[in-house]
Structure 1
């Protein structure tokens, strides 16, 4: 297995290209299903925000690759990662404890798509 590709071109021309292409297709399907964007004319005198693919390999506790993945939308000049405020997390944990709830971990694919700009 080769290392993690640094670009779309590296991913799609590597020995593991079939796996990377599946991961790319899955991500694009999710973006389309969530109606992430629509094509519109670029307003005059407006700069567009670029993006690039960022690839990663996910490993299980044994260190084995469990799937190929990527995070889309990271730009060299502008980045943003929505993070909950610590006080919000504390309030939620306190409410769960007060109501006798059990706390579990979860991960939402393309979670960043659910926030309003």
Structure 2
């Protein structure tokens, strides 16, 4: 049996570019403007899918005499540590102006990691020879 390489027949080597470059789109003023831009539309779809997959809310019929809390999209650009563009950042948030404390919302909780806690965990993991990994969460709800 004679192979192609023995006959000096070679297929050209195809180079694949696996890195994706996303152009930085300007910040939209409204969700309708954002939906016209493929970068922002993809970012909004990702956020919405994450909210649905995390079962963030449940769609129910509106009871009579209740306050409906509006929501809005917040658009921004996320940058790398060197200042280069990383991705389009988006959040669907409740509009606090339409909420009534004690009726629509109670206490809020947003976990924050302090630097002293990070130092403690790092020193403990080093003393116990535990492996350390870095994680960057795109959507924290996906992993909780």
State if a TM-score over 0.5 links the two structures: yes
Quick check: 1:8 aligned with 2:31? yes
Distance across 1 between alignment mates of 2:126 and 2:64:
53
Q: Which moved more, 1:58-67 or 1:33-42?
A: 58-67
When the two structures are superposed, what TM-score results if normalisation uses the length of structure 2? 0.56
Distance 1:84 1:35, change over 3 A: same
Distance 1:48 1:96, change over 3 A: farther
Number of aligned pairs? 112
The aligned runs of 1:1-117 (5 Å cut-off) are 3-13=26-36, 17-77=37-97, 78=99, 82-84=110-112, 89=117, 93=121, 106-111=135-140
Q: What runs of 5+ residues in structure 1 fail to find an aligned partner?
A: none
Larger Rg belongs to: 2
Q: What runs of 5+ residues in structure 2 fail to find an aligned partner?
A: 1-23, 100-104
The Cα of 1:76 is off from its aligned counterpart by: 4.2
When the two structures are superposed, what TM-score results if normalisation uses the length of structure 1? 0.66
**Is 2:69–2:94's contact at 8 Å kept on the other side of the alignment?**
no
RMSD across aligned positions (CA):
3.4
